[in-house]
Amino acid sequence: MEEYEAHMQQRLGKFNINEVLRQAKDLRSVFVEGLGEVRYVLLSEADITEIAKKYPDDARERNLQALFRSLAASDAEVTLDKLRALPYDVSRVLQETVLNASFLPQRKTLKPGSTTPANFKA
């Protein structure tokens, strides 16, 4: 484990908040079985806070607004009305997949539903 940590420290270097902020805005993608590649951006703390303040008593609307912001940033065809018109199971899978995406890389990046940057290069 120490060898792995040393390798990662050498590869990543010191934490650089400006680099993290730049990378956080990168377009990402995830493969969703039955839907294909879904492209999105991660939401910031400010995005989440704004949505939570605007819809404090409606968890479904908070999730829908968050999904909209994540998807619309990568696809101008995405609208709230279109998201509301989706079959429930599709909406639920998109919300579970995209809204649970992480900035930090996942250990298993090749299985369906894993999240990786769209421009990820191993």
Question: What is the tens place of the pLDDT at every residue in 42-63?
Answer: 999 999 999 999 999 999 999 9
pTM: 0.72
SS percent in the chain: helix, strand, coil, step 5:
50, 10, 40
- 44 and 73 Cβ atoms separated by less than 8 Å: no
Sequence ranges of the domains in the chain: 26-117
pLDDT (tens digit, 9 = 90+) per residue, 18-34? Answer: 988 888 888 999 999 99
Asked whether the beta carbons of 116 and 28 are under 8 A apart, the reply is yes
